[in-house]
Every structure is written in structure tokens, then in C-alpha cells.
Structure 1
Amino acid sequence: MRPFGIAGLQLELARADNCDRIVAEIAAVKARLPWVDMIVIGELALFGAGVSNAQSLPGPAEAKMCEAARAAGVWLVPGSLFETVGDRVYNTAPVIDPGGQVVARYRKIYPFRPYEQGVTAGDEFVVFDVPDVGRFGLSICYDMWFPETTRTLTWMGAEVILHPGMTNTIDRDAELAIARASAVTNQVYFVDINVAGSLGVGKSGVFGPGGEVIHEAGSGHEVIAVELDLDHVTRVRERGWHGLGQPLKSLRDTPIEFPPYRDGFAASPAFADLGPLEKPRSAHPASPALRVVKT
């Protein structure tokens, strides 16, 4: 076995500086559950969705998270925060090791456009290794709506996908379906942690490499502590889930060149006809004010 304890913290957070609250939650979880090796928190948990608290990295908020990870002796993905680089703003998730060192930073590749304005897309996929355990990949919220992102992380060797999210809309059930499908089609653990309270609707989920539902959370504060076995990933990839499908091997062994990737998405007339990426407008524009006639 290659066991590894992960706690996803589905926190009810404010549109404010949540750093001290998150530090306290990390310490409390490790004190209560000493077997936890890694803690993962939802997207933009540190300050909420406003860019007014954007910081350059390294910066004070990240330093506080590094100290929290060191004090608790855990791997930490503290959600994400807005990072400033010159005149650009990225949505960035740090990865911090148990010694309090930042070992990776992932910039969200697919900002939620056209709604998430003013945020620059990242252009690098990120995986990192936990010694003697395995390889982990990072994805943020809207990224998972594009199956190429999870497939690329799997191609890079990821056995677990860590996916902080911030969803407060009615499509959360669709996201859970995507997360589960991402797990089974890529034969990975998919750890999908949303925020709760005023920032999100909760309903986090953890799914196994056969698409099995390990846990689905409710809508409020919840500590989602699970022990994963990365040897289970190896076995499912070798034999198939319940001895059935082996999709990664089939993908590897089929010498097909997919036209969308060969020719580019812009070459598709169907894609060209979609129109511009913009917010939908009302189907019923405001009518001129009614003229009231007195009798």
C-alpha cells in the first residue's frame, strides 16, 4: 500500500481576509486527526474573489500559510489567491511542503470568462511529487470543464488531482459529474474541494480511479478526511476497475491523431459559428416606459 491522508476543508468563509481563520483550522484538523498528511482548501479562500487583496509572490499571505504548514507538519494547498506580476493578475495556488517551503505554484489556465474579468490565464501545467507516495497534479475550478487539463496532468504522471474550487451557482451538480467523470476516464483520485458560506455552495467531492464516490459533502462547514491508497491507482490502471476498462492503455496504444488538436479548434466551422465569448443578454430587452392615460 501507498497510503496518504488528505483532509479537504470545506470552510464557510467571508469576503475578507480569512488567513488567520484558515491557520486556526489547519492547526485544529492536525491536532484532531494526526494521520492527515495533506490539507486542501477551496479556491480564493484566503481573501475571496476580489482582486483588491492581490499580492506578489512570495508575499505575506503565502508566508503565513508556510508557517501554518510547518507548524502542523503537513503538505498544504491553501486554495488560491490573486497574484500580481507587473500589470497582470493571476489566480494562483501554492503548494507548500511540511517544512514550510513552497515547492510549486499553479496559475489557473482557464479563468471563468466572460465573468472572471481582468485575470490572466496561466500557461503551465503543474505536478509535484510527495516522496515515497506519488505524483499529484493541480487544477483550479473552471479548469476541469476542459478535459484536456486533467488528461495532461495524467499524461505527466499524476495519480491524484487536487482541485480547489469556488462555485456559488446552480451548476454545482454538473461540476460533481465532471469531477467523477474526470476520475474514471483518467483513472486518478480527484479531490474536488469547494468553499461554503457566502463564497460558495459547498458540495465538495472525492472520487476514486474507478469513478467510485468516496465522499460527497453537504453545503456547510465540513472536514473531509480520507485515506487514499495510491497503489489502488496502479492496480486499477493495470487491471481495469473491477477487471474491466483500461482506458489509459487504449489511449496509449491507439495510433490516432485527433483532428481538433491537429488542426486547431479555430479550424472548425461549428466552433467558428459559436460567436464571441461574452455575457448573455436578456432575451427580453427593457421596453419603453408605458404611457399612462388618465380618464
Structure 2
Amino acid sequence: MTGTAQTDGASPITIAMAQYSQLPIGKPFGSFANTVRSIASERDAEGRKPQLVVFPEMHLFGTPDMDGAQHRAAERAAATDLHDDFARRLGGLARELGIWLIPGTVCEKNPSGHVFNTMPVFAPDGSLTATYRKICPWRPYEQYTPGTSFTTVDIPGVGRLGLTICYDAWFPEISRQVAWMGADIIINLVRTTTPDRRQELVLARANAIVNQAFVLSLNAPAPEGFGESILVSPEGTPIVQIHGNEPDLAIATVDLAQARRVRDRGTLGINRMWHQFGSGDATIPLPLYQGRIDPNTWSPAPR
């Protein structure tokens, strides 16, 4: 399945969205590596190979046929500190293929004993470029420690990624924050097992529209998820969508600079939300956050 969204004057990026079945903990790494190699050899409709390969939430941490306690124990036992052989293998795979690799999310442990749901990003040179810890675990079912910071990743000459995970999409403050940090595309990795995937598709489009950013919402297929992965333009138009809950691969080529153009010109040439407040406007209190909208800072981070 392929799709294209380009505008003139910018370097595009080809993204492979792997709506693939979760792999159980302990499965030989070679199985995943061969899958990524196969994806990296695919091409979009115009013959371009993927530069960024993305998998769903907890793709490498499957716990089939386990109850809640067994599931949590297995994840904790397999958790990585992202400095171990597991992380080195992921980085080596990205380096071997010369791609940006987001292998789903992983269980990350730290010395204090906390376990996070973390999205790592590996660069084509094999380095671990960024990590993002899920701020909003789906409580009470997910017992990960919440993250406390936001993350963006620059792909030189292409654009900026903003990282979010699954339930984060239900909190508009999180998407707004990474958009304000200059994200051209919000990557939202998902493993939704419940019927509210229909609502998440609405949220993907809404978050794209109100932040004037691409949104990639990548879900797992059945039985781990409801599928229906989607990539949305900064004006809310689906670029490519995987219909159904079967394993599938979507490849789309997008020009991330389109997000910046939409912010400058307005959605459909009309709405310029990031230009709403001027330097002479009064500060607006936001009691919920014990903060404010400051007109002097109401614009995405400069590039």
C-alpha cells in the first residue's frame, strides 16, 4: 500500500509503516532483523526505498497467553536500559540498512527500578538519537512509570519528528507541546486492543488539523490491536490508510516542509492558528496548568 504527499522545494522522506504482528519476548532477534531488511528493500509507487521504518507500540515485547501479573513480570525481566546488547543490535540494524529505525516501543528500566514505555529512535549511523517515555500510560491497565518530558528528533535536510505513544493522543496538550517544539510530523505508536480505535482515527485527524502537522498513527493488527493505521496531512487529509486489522505495510513519501507552509499560509489558506496572538496582546492565564499563553512565545520553535 503506497501513498504520496509532496510539495515543491523540499526534500521528501519515504516512510514505511509496518502494521505487523507483535513478536513475543525471547523470539530470536534475527526474525525481526530479517523483517526490517525485507521492508527496507520495498519501494513506494515512484520507486523510492524507505528512509524511516516504524513499528507499533511494544512490537518486540509480546506476552501471548499471559495474565496481567505474568505479563508485567515478563516485561520487567526483559526490560532494557538501552545500553545493552539489545539496543546495540537495533542500532547495528539501522546502520546496516542506512535507515532511521523506530522499532516500536520498548520496556525501559532505570537504576531506581522504574519501568517505562519508551520509544527509541536509531539513526542511519546506528546511534540512539532520541528516546521518549510515554507520559500517559493507559491507567489502570498499564503500570509503567509515566515519563515527564517531551521529545523531538531532527532528520537533517528533511524535518523534525515529534514523539508520542498511544494514549498520549487523547491529551491535546501533548501533541500541542511537540508541535510548539517544531515537530513537522507527530509519530504516535499504538497498540489499541479496544473498539475506540474509531475515535483514535478522529483524534489523529484532529491533532493534525489543530497543530498543522502531519500525524502518523500506527497500530498493531489483530489479535494485539485493531489495525486501521493512518498517516494524515497537516490539513487533516488522510494520505494513506491501512483499512482493516490484518498485518500490512504502507509506504508513503511526504514533504515535511508542507507543515511549515500550512502554518505560514493557513489551513486551506484560511486559518493561521500559530499567528493568532500578537506581541501587543495581553497574557492569558491558564489556571488548569498554573501557566499562561504568552503572546511573545506563541509560535513553533524556529528552524
Give 1:251 shift: 5.5
In terms of Rg, which structure is larger? Answer: 1
Paired letter, 1:39: V
In 2, are the aligned partners of 1:14 and 1:197 still within 8 Å (CA)? Answer: no
Identity of aligned residues (%): 35
What CA distance in whole angstroms lies between the structure 2 residues aligned with 1:124 and 1:17?
A: 30
In 2, are the aligned partners of 1:15 and 1:199 still within 8 Å (CA)? Answer: no
What CA distance in whole angstroms lies between the structure 2 residues aligned with 1:78 and 1:263?
A: 36
- Per-residue CA distance 1:55-103 (angstroms, 9 max, x = gap): 2221232222112211111001111111111311111111100011101
What CA distance in whole angstroms lies between the structure 1 residues aligned with 2:31 and 2:162?
A: 26
Q: In the alignment, which residue of structure 1 is the partner of 2:56?
A: 42
Q: Cα–Cα, structure 1 residues 48 and 239, in superposed 2: closer, same or farther, change >3 Å?
A: same
- Per-residue CA distance 1:79-133 (angstroms, 9 max, x = gap): 111111131111111110001110111111111111112x111111111111111
Give 1:241 shift: 2.0
Paired letter, 1:45: H
Are residues 1:133 and 2:143 paired? no
Are residues 1:8 and 2:20 paired? no
Q: In the alignment, which residue of structure 2 is the partner of 1:22?
A: 32
In 2, are the aligned partners of 1:13 and 1:198 still within 8 Å (CA)? Answer: no
**Match of residue 214, structure 2, among 189, 196, 214:** 189
TM-score, scaled to structure 1: 0.84
Q: Cα–Cα, structure 1 residues 101 and 240, in superposed 2: closer, same or farther, change >3 Å?
A: same
Q: In the alignment, which residue of structure 1 is the partner of 2:185?
A: 160
Q: In the alignment, which residue of structure 2 is the partner of 1:105?
A: 131
Aligned with 2:94: secondary structure?
helix
Give 1:41 shift: 0.6
Aligned with 1:13: secondary structure?
coil
In 2, are the aligned partners of 1:54 and 1:81 still within 8 Å (CA)? Answer: yes
Q: In the alignment, which residue of structure 2 is the partner of 1:260?
A: 288
In 2, are the aligned partners of 1:39 and 1:76 still within 8 Å (CA)? Answer: yes
Q: Cα–Cα, structure 1 residues 247 and 45, in superposed 2: closer, same or farther, change >3 Å?
A: same
Give 1:14 shift: 4.1
Q: In the alignment, which residue of structure 2 is the partner of 1:219?
A: 245
Q: Cα–Cα, structure 1 residues 257 and 2, in superposed 2: closer, same or farther, change >3 Å?
A: farther
- Per-residue CA distance 1:177-229 (angstroms, 9 max, x = gap): 11110011000010111111332121111001000111221211111110111
Paired letter, 2:59: A
Are residues 1:58 and 2:83 paired? yes
What CA distance in whole angstroms lies between the structure 2 residues aligned with 1:22 and 1:214?
A: 27
Q: In the alignment, which residue of structure 2 is the partner of 1:75?
A: 100
Paired letter, 1:36: P
What CA distance in whole angstroms lies between the structure 2 residues aligned with 1:261 and 1:184?
A: 23
What CA distance in whole angstroms lies between the structure 2 residues aligned with 1:251 and 1:64?
A: 47
What CA distance in whole angstroms lies between the structure 2 residues aligned with 1:246 and 1:232?
A: 14
Paired letter, 2:177: T
Q: Cα–Cα, structure 1 residues 146 and 14, in superposed 2: closer, same or farther, change >3 Å?
A: same
What CA distance in whole angstroms lies between the structure 1 residues aligned with 2:286 and 2:258?
A: 30
In 2, are the aligned partners of 1:53 and 1:82 still within 8 Å (CA)? Answer: yes
Aligned with 1:219: secondary structure?
coil
**What value does the CA root-mean-square deviation take over the aligned residues?**
1.8
Give 1:239 shift: 1.0
Aligned with 2:285: secondary structure?
coil
